[in-house]
Chains A and B, each alone.
Chain A
Amino acid sequence: QVHLVQSGTEVKKPGASVKVSCKASGYTFTNYGITWVRQAPGQGLEWMGWISAYNGNTNYAQKLQDRVTMTTETSTSTVYMELRSLRSDDTAVYYCARVVVGAYYFDYWGQGTLVTVSS
């Protein structure tokens, strides 16, 4: 069975960076991608970008392009999402999800990681 397990809650100060992990299991890691979607309190879903676990190619949302980096560690089937220069409006639950490459829908999701940015 497919599982995506994310790292725990983070509290950061404005200007700091955060790195969230997403460990995959139950499938061939390199056959899919991983996307990151965030949800601010009481708001909808915002797509942040995705990474191919096959070759590490990335595609980021333009508004986050300068501050976000997604990487893979194939040996542990783990994907990382780092967000830099944090601001209060980055406070959100961050989800990873598996990407079915070609159709680009998100079929399995992690449990979410709350990132709070506050001074």
Chain B
Amino acid sequence: DIQMTQSPSSLSASVGDRVTIPCRASQSISRYLNWYQQKPGEAPKLLIYATSNLQRGVPSRFSGSASGTDFTLTISSLQPEDFATYYCQQSYSTPYTFGQGTKLEIK
């Protein structure tokens, strides 16, 4: 199985900050990497698919990039509604594994 590693498990930042959330795959997954946002008590929401494609309706302050097996979700200017947990997920091969999540907290 492909392991997805998200470290750190939590991150503190302030409104207006630029934030990067990393995710590493245990082997090559091409560009089959997706990002989800989850707020407490809610279902996950797709933000980015195939490494860098913004899902319809998601603000343009969210972006995704990759270098080899390292992937990054960037939020250019944090808004109050962005404090949540972020999960990466590989869709290269089954089982379609998720990272453990990075919780973005208010500093």
A→B interface (CB under 8 Å): 35, 37, 44-47, 50, 59, 61-62, 95, 97, 100, 103-112
**Given A45-B44, A95-B43, A95-B44: A107 and B55 within 8 A (CB)?**
yes
Q: Does chain A have a CB within 8 A of B59? A: no
How far is B49's CA from A112's CA once the two chains are assembled, in angstroms? Answer: 22
Interface size for B (C-beta < 8 A) is: 22
**B43 lies within 8 A of A105 (CB):** no
B→A interface (CB under 8 Å): 32, 34, 36, 38, 43-46, 49-50, 55, 87, 89, 91, 94-101
The 5 closest A-B CB pairs, nearest first, are: A104-B91, A109-B43, A105-B49, A105-B34, A45-B98
- Apart from A45-B38, A97-B44: 15 A-B pairs, beta carbons within 8 A: A35-B96, A44-B87, A44-B101, A47-B89, A47-B98, A50-B96, A103-B32, A103-B49, A105-B49, A106-B44, A107-B46, A107-B49, A109-B43, A109-B44, A112-B43
Residues of B contacting A59 in the complex (Cβ-Cβ under 8 angstroms): 94
| Minimum CB–CB distance for B103 against chain A, Å | 10
| Minimum CB–CB distance for B4 against chain A, Å | 10
How far is B44's CA from A95's CA once the two chains are assembled, in angstroms? Answer: 9
Residues of B contacting A44 in the complex (Cβ-Cβ under 8 angstroms): 87, 98-101
